[in-house]
Amino acid sequence: MITITNHIQNNMKQFIIIVLFCTIGLQSFSQDLMDILEEQTTETKNYTTATFKGTRILNGHSVENRKKGTLEFLISHRFGRVNLGADELYGLDQSNIRFAFEYGVTDNLMIGVGRSSFDKTYDGFVKYKFLKQSTGKKAFPFTATLFSSLAYRTLKDFDPENEPTFSQKLSYVTQILIARKFSSAFSLQITPTYIHRNSVKINDDPHGIFAVGVGSRVKITKRISVNGEYYYTANPLKSIDASNSLAFGVDIETGGHVFQIILSNSITMIEKSFITESTDDFFEGDIHLGFNISRAFQIGNKKKKKLKQIQNSGI
């Protein structure tokens, strides 16, 4: 009887020891697994998306580009000043329009061409995103995009014998768009800008103008945001009573396009014009109602290519 009791006690001791070792082993394995998962999470790099909802904050460009293979048709309108009164239907009797085609060559490179009724100007641009805000491994705090454009003025407001040359009708713009998405609801962009005119109206007008823009987006709902934008010009034109460009607006996303409603003291819609040639005072009631509306089209058989890649991978 004593022998059986001792045998049971020995077995119980062995069982307890085995349970303890298994418990310690499982705890150690669990801790090692958590460490591995944390390391993998840290090594994952996540890029920030939708810093702004569209390619424009309001008048000016945002850091965003269209995706590869996407063609965007953009129509922009700016009406006359709202303080013109009822006779001019609060500015709606007057109108300035620009339409453009913009294309995503790659996810980071976009090109575009447009035509404005103001000064009958044709313009083209190249836009390249060279830095991306990210979290995780090697996190980066902001997104940066390089923007460069050329504008050609074709308005015939000169005497035939004094017609400017092709080169004299050209203007150039270079910008670095630097933006950070601080949260899902708030984004901020700073835009150092240089504008060059090959010809000027008077000798006191600078050929090269330096400016800096500030733009922001505050998300209200999933599809609606409120935006603001301001450009300060360091050395404005002397031939006109120039004002700094100011704009407020609302972004409304509806399926395949973003609709923007804008209030601004600028009636023009390309950088060389609205940054340097605005003459109205927003706080004196010189406000132009306007809108930007865009429609995106996918060029190529993106879905078919994706399906083919899946089939080739054996999934």
Claim to verify: residue 122 and residue 211 sit in the same structural domain: yes
Cα–Cα–Cα angle for 250, 256, 257, nearest 5°?
A: 30
Lowest mean pLDDT among 249-263, 271-285, 291-305: 291-305
Residues 92 and 220 in one domain: yes
Q: Which domain holds residue 185?
A: 52-300
Q: What tokens were used for 109?
A: 């490179």
**pLDDT over threshold 50, residue 315:** no
Question: pLDDT band at residue 296, thresholds of 50, 70 and 90?
Answer: confident
Same domain, 95 and 160: yes
Report whether 69 contacts 300 (CB < 8 A): yes
Whether residue 38 is found in the same domain as residue 58: no
Q: Are residues 278 and 296 in the same domain?
A: yes
Give yes or no: residues 23 and 65 share one domain.
Answer: no
Q: Are both 107 and 11 inside the same structural domain?
A: no
The verdict on 196 and 289 lying in the same domain is yes
Cα separation, 67 vs 298, whole angstroms: 9
Residue 28 sits in the same domain as residue 156: no
Q: What is the pLDDT of residue 22?
A: 44
Q: What's the average model confidence in pLDDT over 177-193?
A: 96
**Predicted local distance difference test score (pLDDT) of residue 26:** 38
Same domain, 88 and 191: yes
Q: What is the rounded distance in angstroms from the CA atom of residue 62 to the CA atom of residue 121?
A: 22
Mean pLDDT for 50-59 is 93
pLDDT at 313: 39
Longest dimension (CA), the chain: 129
Q: What is the domain-level CATH number for residue 274? A: 2.40.160.40
Which residue, among 136, 165, 178, 174, has the nearest Cα to 47 in the 3D structure? 136
33 in the same domain as 61: no
Average pLDDT on 89-97 reads 88
Q: pLDDT tens digit string along 206-245? A: 999 999 999 999 999 989 999 999 999 999 999 999 999 9
Cβ neighbors of 104 (< 8 A, separation 6 or more) are 65, 66, 67, 68, 69, 70, 71, 110
pLDDT at position 10: 52
What is the per-residue pLDDT across 140-173, written as a single tens digit (0 to 9) for each?
999 999 999 999 999 888 777 788 889 999 999 9
Identify the pLDDT of residue 13.
Answer: 52
- pLDDT value of position 16: 46
Q: How many independent structural domains does the chain possess? A: 2
Determine the 3-state secondary structure of 23 from DSSP: helix
Q: 211 and 82 share a domain?
A: yes
The arithmetic mean of pLDDT across residues 261-273, rounded, is: 94
pLDDT at 178: 97
